[in-house]
Amino acid sequence: MKMDILDKIAQAVFDVKAYPDQDQIESVASALISTHPCLREPGGGTGFDGWKMNIKYKLGNYRSKLRQAGCNEVSINQKKQSHEDDGAGPSLKRAKRGEINHVPDHPDNYSDEPLEDERLALVEEFKKRNKNVALIRQKMELTFSLRCKEIVEMEPMVSEVQERWPAMFCEAEIREEFHGITNKSLLDNFRAAINHHTPRLLQLYRTRKTAFPPEMNGLLQRLDI
C-alpha cells in the first residue's frame, strides 16, 4: 500500500512541478498525514519525516523513468560528466514562475530533424512579401516544442533567437507564444497589472511633478475629475 501511495503522490506532484524544493515536499508530506492521520509515523517529531524522505526519492525515481521514456522536461536535465576543473555540476533548467509548458514533448511522429525542416520552411515563408499568415501560425504551433527545447537548453542570445525564429517577434506571435507557455492571455495580464499598479504610479507622479513634462499635470488633473 505504501508504494501505491508514493506512486500516486509522485504523479500528482510532477503534474504540478517537476522539481519541487524541500519546503514543498515537506508540505506534501505534512498534508498527507493531516488528511490521513492513520499514516502518521509513531514516535516523536513531526510524524512525517520518513514520508518526506520517501517522497523525495520516489520523485527522483519517477523522473528517471520519464527520462528513459523520452520526456523532454526531465531529459534536458540529464546529468552529464562535467568537463570543468572545479567539478561543478550542471544547474537544473526548471520551469520559471507562471510557466505551464516548460519543455513540452514533440508532437506525435515528429523528432528534432523533421521539426527543423519545418522551421526552415517557416523562415522562408516569413521572408516573402505576401506572407501566408495562416501557414506561419500553423508552423509556429507545430514547432513550439522545438523552440522551447532550444531556448531552455541552449540559452541563446536574443539576436540568435530572432535570426532562427523571426516570426516569434511579431505582435500576434508574441501573444500566442506567451499563451503557449503560460496558458494565459498576455494582454489581459498586462491590463490587470496596469490596473493593480496605477494608484502607486499616480502617487509617484504627483510627488515628483517637476521630473515630468508639463503635459503630465494636465493628465493628472483629468484623472482627478
Read off the pLDDT of residues 138-189 as tens digits, 9 standing for 90 and up: 999 999 999 988 888 888 899 999 999 999 999 999 999 998 888 889 999 8
> Based on the domain organization, do 140 and 191 belong to the same domain?
no
Identify whether the C-beta of residue 55 lies closer than 8 Å to the C-beta of residue 9.
yes
Same domain assignment for residues 116 and 177: yes
Q: Are residues 156 and 128 in the same domain?
A: yes
Q: Is the pLDDT assigned to residue 70 strictly greater than 80?
A: no
Total count of domains within the chain? 3
178 and 191 in a single domain? The answer is no
In a domain, 82, yes or no: no
Handedness of CA 199, 202, 204, 207 (dihedral sign): negative
The pLDDT, as a whole number, for residue 96 is: 65
| Gap between the Cα atoms of 185 and 79, Å rounded | 35
The total number of residues written for the chain in this structure: 225
Residues 15 and 65 in one domain: yes
Residue 96 lies in a domain: no
Containing structural domain, residue 192: 186-224
Compute the average pLDDT of residues 75-103.
Answer: 57
More confident site: 111 or 98: 111
Cα–Cα dist 131/35, whole Å: 57
23 inside domain: yes
Are 30 and 64 within one domain?
A: yes
Domain for residue 136, yes or no? yes
178 contact partners, CB below 8 Å, separation of at least 6:
184, 185, 186, 189
Can you read off the three cell numbers belonging to residue 204? 509617484
Q: Are residue 177 and residue 201 in the same domain, yes or no? A: no
Inter-axis angle of helices 49-68 and 2-16, to 10 degrees? 70
**Are 116 and 166 within one domain?**
yes
Q: Please state, in angstroms and rounded to a whole number, the distance separating the CA atoms of residues 159 and 83.
A: 28
Query: Looking at residue 92, what is its pLDDT?
Result: 59
Based on the domain organization, do 167 and 205 belong to the same domain?
no
| Cα distances (Å, whole numbers) of residue 45 to 26, 34, 118 | 13, 14, 57
